[in-house]
Amino acid sequence: MGRFLSAFVLVILSACAVAAQSTPPLGQLDPTRNITQPQLFGSFHQPLPEQYIWTHDAKGQTQAQQDAPRYFLAHFRVESVPQIANLYVAGPQNAEVWVNGTEAGRFDADPQSRIDVHVFWTNVTKLLHAGDNIVAVEGDHGGELVAKIVPAAEGVNAPAMLISDGAWKATLQTADGWQNVGFDDSAWPAVDARGSIEGNIDFFQWNSDAGMYNWPGYEGASPFLAHVYLPAVKVMDVYPGNGTFENVDALTQTDVDPEHEFTVKARLDITRNFTPALTLDFGREVTGRVQVVSDSDGPAVVSIAYGESMGELNNEPYLGDNAVFVGPHASVVGPKSAFRYARIRFLAAGDFRVKSIRLEDIYYPVHYSGSFESSDALLNRIWETGAYTSHLCMQDDIWDAPKRDRGRWMGDTDVSGRVIDAVFGDHFLVEDTLTRLIGPLPITQPVNGIPGYSSFWFTELEDYVQHSGRIEYVRSMHDRIVALLDFMDKDFNAQNQWVNHTNDWPYVDWSLWLDHDTPEARETTGLEYIRAYRAGAWLLRQIGDTQNADRFAERAETLTKANESADWTDGSYGPRWQTNAMAVIAGVAQPDQYGSIWQNVLENVGQPTFRPDVITPYYGSYVLDAMAEMNHREAALKWIREYWGGMIAEGATSFWEAYDPSWPKDDPHVDLQADDTAGYRISLAHGWSSGPTFWLMEQVLGIQPTAPGFAKTTIRPDLVDLEWAKGAEPTPQGLLKVNLRKTHDEHSLHAVIDLPPGVEATVLYPVAPGAGPVMVNGERQTGTPAENGSRVAIVLSKPGQYEIHAE
């Protein structure tokens, strides 16, 4: 008889607030931060050989045709029948399997489950015989098929007797008796074999493999990712139910002797009303999965549910409540996701002893090369939380979020990418993500299907090159850069207004009238394009394509003039924060307009608003950039403390997909609004919300590279209302360090700057009106007046340490 462990959801009607437990000390939020020798998946795991297979005629079909039944056949030879053999099938939502003409199992997935791929298995030992054998599978309502027969007990991995691969055959139409021995399948075409189920990064995106945790031997992680095992920080909500627990405290320890292992003694309760359960708190948002290591001679069944908040865990865990079969002395895992809390229910345990129930933290191994610290403890926590949020999103490429959607989105990457460039200095993941997002030639659609995201592809690439110096990557992208810019230019009319000729989704932000095709969204998208043309021109100039660089620079100027002549109200760009911010950072709004923009629109940032003015932390990053450009850094810092600091005050250990300080606080997670919805599916770790991390480095420390690889950089220190600040950014030649401290004179600043080789820095040092020369390493420097005499520009061209202060 077949076995299928379906997902179920535990519903608790009472709302539960986000737990306000203490967070790890500053510098210890990321549990992987100080791991010097990461254990990479590629060092201990060989990708499984079984492949996803499908019919060759899938392209261009309607959805009904896609969902139609598929028929698969495979012949294989058995020299001698093993003592036990289990057949595993995954992919279709519904499947029927025959072995040598006899039905081996009929399986149906839970239609309410958010998990698309479910693993079905059944014992087929008695259906096998020595010699030639045949397996037939009918599957529908789902994706590609993967199958294998393993000569081992259920859940145990071993070399397979049969795997799905290019030797299988498949068709959409067949005759009666097709599953029987002797059926002539010579006319059937070979399958479309799509590669090893662990051999393609794309197979791990979008939660597409969330249900593969029950597949024997499946790790589901790219070879460059690492893992580490961590115990829970706290055990909560201990409910013995119809059994008893022993040594619960062992679940928070790393090494436990066998005599003090955690033990469950429970009876099987098919109603699940009185099953023992407990909740593990890992102390912060994490990404990975829960691992259960058995020390029992018999099998057990547990279920695992995750929650980024206690509200989500208790009411609506995003992936549901997933049953896991635990063989004797086996090590098993639940689905991969992002969470802080995990509830373990012991469905069929008997006398069940475990060596551990712990987190397998899955992460991309990078060093925190960049840093920021100041006299404001809240800003320090905000900086660290933003860096950690971006690191959580560095998985199999840079994702928007490790819970939902677990996929590449360019708008998200334009923000988190700037954090990655400034803090981690990563090359591989950034380039792989950008390459896959733009796709191959020819360019036939915007990046992610969103016109503005094409714009952000260019602005993140510009930031990346300025930090990394990877001109060779730009050169490899040359043809696609030009093709995407040309494709984008199709969306303007003869009056140089952005009109969406390509009929795509002009998404700007999850805010009223900015999340679909409206005049407001079109206006803002047109401004995003101008910013992209400037970035594209800069990139092309770096690789010597001056002809196209001049063409798109001129295009940016033409579009800027068209916007200048548009009928904007009160000298600003409409009433929306997002539109005005983009006008400023795109260089469309001119300095003489800043006063009107500030007074009429952006001065209201942080003030209580009505629904139309809601802004996500994502576009909040561009608002912060605009506030700095208009020299309102003090207001920007105030907003950072209130807005991003507000999330921290409500229990955040990573920054949320959406937030507004005015939203209810009894259960903050359920009240978050984004993605055209609200509630627990909203992510509590979203890379697009990490903007203050790079902003503090750019605007307080003042570090802004202006040429590839920091060959030239501007350092414009501004302590604003801080007493001191220090930090560093990685360059290709080493760390660039800035250490700032206010002196007794309110207009004076003591700065120590460490320049690595190959970096020429223009320091814009603040001076009082009428002040004398500036002292640089004890020598007087006059420099060049800048910013209307409020600063002096000093050029530092040699490596070394520079101490700068007023005379």
Our measurement of the distance from residue 737's CA atom to the centroid of its chain's CA atoms, rounded to an integer in Å, reads: 29
Q: How far apart are CA 99 and CA 17, in angstroms?
A: 52
- Residue 20: the pLDDT is 42
Q: Which residue has the tokens 């795991």?
A: 45
ω into 405 cis (within 30 of 0): yes
Query: What pLDDT digit, counting tens, does each position of 310-324 carry?
Result: 999 999 999 999 999
CB 367 within 8 A of CB 294: no
Q: Which residue has the tokens 């373990």?
A: 344
- Kindly state the tokens that stand for 150: 């393993």
- Taking CA atoms, 751 is separated from 720, 734, 775, in Å, by 14, 19, 10
User: Phi and psi dihedrals of 73, rounded to 5?
Assistant: -135, 145
* Short-list 459, 366, 371, 444, CA closest to 413: 459
- Kindly state the tokens that stand for 301: 């069944």
Average pLDDT, stretch 754-760? 98
Q: Assign 805 to helix, strand or coil.
A: strand
* Short-list 282, 357, 315, CA closest to 653: 282
* Short-list 281, 345, 332, CA closest to 308: 281
Query: What pLDDT digit, counting tens, does each position of 72-94 carry?
Result: 999 999 999 999 999 999 999 89
- Kindly state the tokens that stand for 617: 């932390």
- Strand runs (DSSP E) across 61-210, as ranges? 70-78, 86-99, 102-108, 119-123, 131-150, 162-163, 169-171, 192-196
Q: How far apart are CA 305 and CA 320, in angstroms?
A: 6
Query: What pLDDT digit, counting tens, does each position of 410-463 carry?
Result: 999 999 999 999 999 999 999 999 999 999 999 999 999 999 999 999 999 999
- Kindly state the tokens that stand for 21: 């437990």
Cβ contacts of 232 within 8 Å, gap of 6 or more: 251, 252, 280, 281, 282, 283, 342, 357, 358, 359
Q: How confident is the model at residue 4 (pLDDT cuts 50, 70, 90)?
A: very low
Q: What is the pTM of this model?
A: 0.95
**Higher per-residue confidence, 702 vs 348:** 702
Q: What Rg, from alpha-carbon coordinates, does the chain have?
A: 29
Average pLDDT, stretch 504-518? 95
**CB burial readout 706-737, b (16+ within 10 A) else e:** eebbbbbbebbbbbeebeebbbbbbbbbbbbb
Q: Which residue has the tokens 């009429």?
A: 600
Query: What pLDDT digit, counting tens, does each position of 677-733 carry?
Result: 999 999 999 999 999 999 999 999 999 999 999 999 999 999 999 999 999 999 999
- Kindly state the tokens that stand for 640: 């950072």
Average pLDDT, stretch 381-403? 98
- Taking CA atoms, 545 is separated from 200, 298, 531, 540, in Å, by 34, 68, 19, 5
Instruction: Say if residue 11's pLDDT is above 60.
Output: no
Query: What pLDDT digit, counting tens, does each position of 223-244 carry?
Result: 999 999 999 999 999 999 988 9
Query: What pLDDT digit, counting tens, does each position of 656-675 carry?
Result: 999 999 899 999 999 999 99
User: Phi and psi dihedrals of 360, rounded to 5?
Assistant: -95, 100
How many residues are recorded in the chain?
Answer: 807
CB 248 within 8 A of CB 203: no
236: left (phi over 0), alpha (psi -120 to 50) or beta: beta
* C-beta atoms surrounding 85 within 10 Å: 23
Q: How far apart are CA 385 and CA 28, in angstroms?
A: 10
CB 419 within 8 A of CB 693: yes
Q: How far apart are CA 672 and CA 678, in angstroms?
A: 5
- Taking CA atoms, 249 is separated from 252, 280, 305, in Å, by 6, 11, 20
- Kindly state the tokens that stand for 127: 């259906």
For residue 379, which amino acid is it?
A: L
CB 246 within 8 A of CB 420: no
Q: How confident is the model at residue 266 (pLDDT cuts 50, 70, 90)?
A: confident
Q: Which residue has the tokens 């049953």?
A: 323
- Residue 141: the pLDDT is 66
Average pLDDT, stretch 13-23? 44
Share of the chain above pLDDT 70, in %: 93
